[in-house]
Structures are given as structure tokens and as C-alpha cells.
Amino acid sequence: MVSIPVLTIDGPGGAGKGTISGLIAERLGWHLLDSGALYRLTAQAAVKHGVALDDEAALEALAARLDIAFPVEQGAARTLLEGEDVTRLIRTEQAGERASRVASLPGVRQSLLDRQRDFCKAPGLVADGRDMGTVVFPEAPLKIFLTASAEERARRRYQQLQAAGVDASLSSLLKEIQARDARDTQRSVAPLKPADDAITLDTTRLSIPEVVDRLIQLLAQKGLADGR
């Protein structure tokens, strides 16, 4: 695992992790791990099979046998759960709230840990999540912690929903983000925080291309990419 280059990108929801991780993986030809999708998929599977979101033993067993796939077609990744396309379904605010609850359970996190590490394959991996640098890939040569103000993250989410034709309340989104931040940073297992050796990058006033270029430069400085 340690011989394969890994870039971990952690941070709260709305900081741009998913978009930026995907762009970097595509640019470098590396594999991509969207760890947050695993928790969203576990929560969605729980809803589908009638498992309570506070039943840790049942959720742990469910996570261990998840039937999932991430096929890429025409440059766009899809997310399949038991053969069903749930790409859009698991990206709602409600799905995110459920995923955050599931992710706070130690048994579920342990069940998904080995599965996440299996994504580490040549030529390299971009791992997007909340504990990639602290728990899943602690020996990664470059760890990034992306952040942005809660207000900016709520604004970005609001714009995404509006563009998708989904009605939303900016004030409600802000409250949900603040509540999720509190839950993620205060949980006893793998709380959301930068790794000791992570580089923190505030994206509040940065464009996506600016962030991507900055991370490619950092990879190049460590000899992990050519900087193009």
C-alpha cells in the first residue's frame, strides 16, 4: 500500500473535495475513492432493507456485504447499489444526514475500512473523505485538508440544488451543514480533523481550477506527478 502514491483529500462537506478529487484523478490517470459514497450506500441499503440507522450490529453486517459498483461511462461515474443506479439518490441532503449518522458507528467504520484500502492500486489513488489521512491511509505521502466557511459551503450547495431544479432554503442548508460539522468533529471514532502532517487549504475564495493546480503542484514537489 505504501509503495503506491496516495493523495488524501479530507474536509467537511461542501469544501469541494469530490469535484477536485475527481478532476485530479482524471488528470493523472489515478484511481478514485469516494469514501463518503460508501457510507451513503450503507445508509441507503439500510433504508432499502428496513434496517434502523442506530442498529450498529445490523448495519455492520450490511456494510460487510454491500453489493456496490462505480462504473464510468463517457467520463461520468455512476454509483450502483445491488445493480440499481443510485447516483442521484445518495446525493440528497437527507442521504448525507443519514450517512453522517451511520459513519459515527465504530462497527460500520471497521467493516468499511478494508474495502477502502482495497482501492489503493497502481498507478496511484486519490482518496476523498473525512478520515483518509488520519485513519485509512495514515502513511500517504501527501495529505490535504480542504475547508471553507460554513456560509460558503451552504451557498455552493444551494446553487447546486437550484441548478438541478431542486427547491431549497439557504438558511436550512446552513443549519444542516453546521449540525453535520458538529457531529463529525465531535464523534468519538475518527473525528473530522486534519492529520498532523496535512496541508490545510481554505477554498472559500479559490476557484476549482486554482485548487486543482495547487494540488498538482504539491504532488510534483514530492515527485508524485509531473505537474502538468
Strands 84-85 and 80-81 come out as antiparallel
Q: Say what the pTM is.
A: 0.81
Binding residues: 11-19
Task: Please state, in angstroms and as integers, the Cα–Cα distance from residue 131 to each residue in 49, 63, 160, following that order.
Answer: 27, 18, 25
- For residues 16 and 209, what is the distance between their CA atoms, to the nearest angstrom? 11
**144-193 per-position pLDDT tens digit:** 999 999 999 999 989 988 887 888 899 999 999 999 899 888 888 778 89
173, 93 contact by CB (below 8 A): yes
Q: Which of 55, 214, 59, 207 is nearest to 142 (CA)?
A: 214
77: confidence class by pLDDT, cuts 50, 70, 90: low
CA-closest candidate to residue 77, choices 96, 61, 90: 90
Domains observed in the chain: 6-218 (3.40.50.300)
209 by DSSP, 3-state: which? helix
- pLDDT tens digit sequence for 90-149: 988 899 899 989 988 999 989 999 888 988 999 999 999 989 999 999 999 999 999 999
What per-residue string of b and e applies to 53-74 under the rule 16 or more CB within 10 Å gives b? beeeebbbebbeebebeeeeee
Q: Which residues belong to the annotated binding site for ATP? A: 11-19
